[in-house]
Structure 1
Amino acid sequence: MFDINNIIDQFEFIIDTENEGKRLDVFLTKILDGYSRNYIQKLIKDGYINVNSKVVTTKKYAIKENDTVEIFIPKPVNLDVEAEDIFVEIVYEDDDVIIVNKPQGMVVHPAPGNYSGTLVNALLFHAKSLSNINGVVRPGIVHRIDKDTSGLLMIAKNNKSHNSLAAQLKDHSSTRKYIAIVHGNIVEDQGTIDKPIARNPKNRLKMAVVEGGRESVTHYKVLKRYQTFTLVECQLETGRTHQIRVHMSYINHPLLGDNLYGPKNSKIKYSGQALHAKTLGFVHPTTNKYIEFNSELPEYFVELIKKIEAINKIRNKE
């Protein structure tokens, strides 16, 4: 039995019909964002996974409907994060900040079992200096976006810049606009979702709108309506974990491809939420002048729009 004092996080959820019969390690790798399959298998082997209150140590265990699965995440071992020669698109760079355009599928910073191939590994190779306020594992990282979200991130090259950028995030003065494809047609041309977010009390893997949670505000604007989807711009006032994904799901318009908060079935088969951080603006830490950056929609996003438009044309002919 592990030492409970060594646990830094814990998740619990119940298996639904759709996931019945899947291998335990395969399912957990899919649902736990940022953790590698090797790390999940090690957790199982070392006794950190319970099914129906009993330790399961075989990765091939076939989960069953209504199984209660508990995952315990132990403290990470201390180690140095290595620089890796990984390409990352640099949109802007000076002595204080770097603006990167993160591709979909890249994890922002190392996590247990996933210490390579991240944006931080790439930044350590590229930059001579990064802020150290967030420690060895997250140098330069002021804010993050999910693995399957693409787009712009600001990186601090020194602690002075880090404090300035973090303060702007805290007082909601920075600009962060995202483009998303959501299910259904949003009737209003624009709106604001002002609902608090916290861990889902029934499923620790998810966030949710929870009374007493942290203040969370998302502004949205409809860019284009299709028959069964809507292209929207979402602007963050706050920056909670999964905020756009949770808020859009809350108003019954979850993101296309969102396996965690979206519908089980979709007319377009896609895995990985259709969400791109398109615009990023802030006051420069040294010049005190407002600067703003924009990025083009990535290829995967453009292809999704083409598929949606093709479906519309087919239906219109019918």
Structure 2
Amino acid sequence: MINQVNQIFLCSFLFLSLFPVSFAQPASHWVSYPSANQTAYGVYHFRKSFELDKVPDKMVIHVSADNRYNLFVNGKRVCYGPAKGDLKTYKYDIIDIAPFLHIGENLLAALVFNGGDDKPMAFISVQTAFMLRVENSNFSELNTNSNWKVYKNPAYRVISYHEMLFKERWFYGFYACGGGDEIFAEKYPWGWETTGFDDSGWIAAEPLLFDKQPPWNLVPRNIPFMDNHLAYPAKIRKVNNADIPIGKWDGTSSLTIPANTKANILIDFEVLTMGYPELAVQGGSGSYIQVKYAEALYEAVNLKAHRDSVNNLNMFGVWDIFHADGGERVFRFYLN
């Protein structure tokens, strides 16, 4: 997503990742969610707990997924991917997770996303699948198999790009970036990536069996991981129906929207920014937050204005939606 001017109801940040890579060819162990529609939109969580008496100097893993994954170790997001490719050069990532381990109980956790019919055109896909392998054979029990647990997240709904582009009739032309996501906080398994989470209701991951070789011919990532830093907004440009001052705002202080209020807040990053928004919310049970993204406002359909201008202009763009459950939540839009 490219955000230069954001329309949002609460605070947002942008989130990316960076880690070094090395090169080796893994033996793949692909798993999925049993009985899932393997080509449809879906968000899946995988978990594997293990104990360590001693933290190894190195624990190098190979990891990939179809369409995309986010990998967490003991609650910390450590990498995401894979890099784009095709089935003959399907990418996997290599990372040493030893710095994220500790003595006692540890957890590997992955969020795996399939965009279904609304996935970006750059996502070459066979079906929903996840693969993780440890280079050190002493830790082979961590390789993906039925000893991993999996959960299909019911909190997500796809916002079709047809809905986003043609409902408002603001865009005419070629679009290849995929849909948006609608998240219902009351259905979300908060804390799923942490060791203290109760996964007793989760089921065993299903190993995928193939007549010959898996359809993904794995090759190592051939580009660096993306840079990892927080990008903060610069200012609030316009406010409708809320007592919020216009001017400098970096996203670190809270904005309060009264109950039973529909408000619009136009936030400017001042420079073109690519990343993953982060919402920190509290209260507001039954309310929703629509986060809309655009690099500039519009004078009319298919006619962008100067990107520093906001007066008498329209906000068109793609969006995500978060439905609050009244709790204190931090949510990152990881998927696309």
Query: Whose strand proportion is higher, 1 or 2?
Result: 2
The TM-score normalised by the length of structure 2 is 0.26
Higher helix share: 1
Larger RCO, structures 1/2 (Cα 8 Å, 6+ apart): 2
**TM-score normalised to structure 1 length:** 0.27
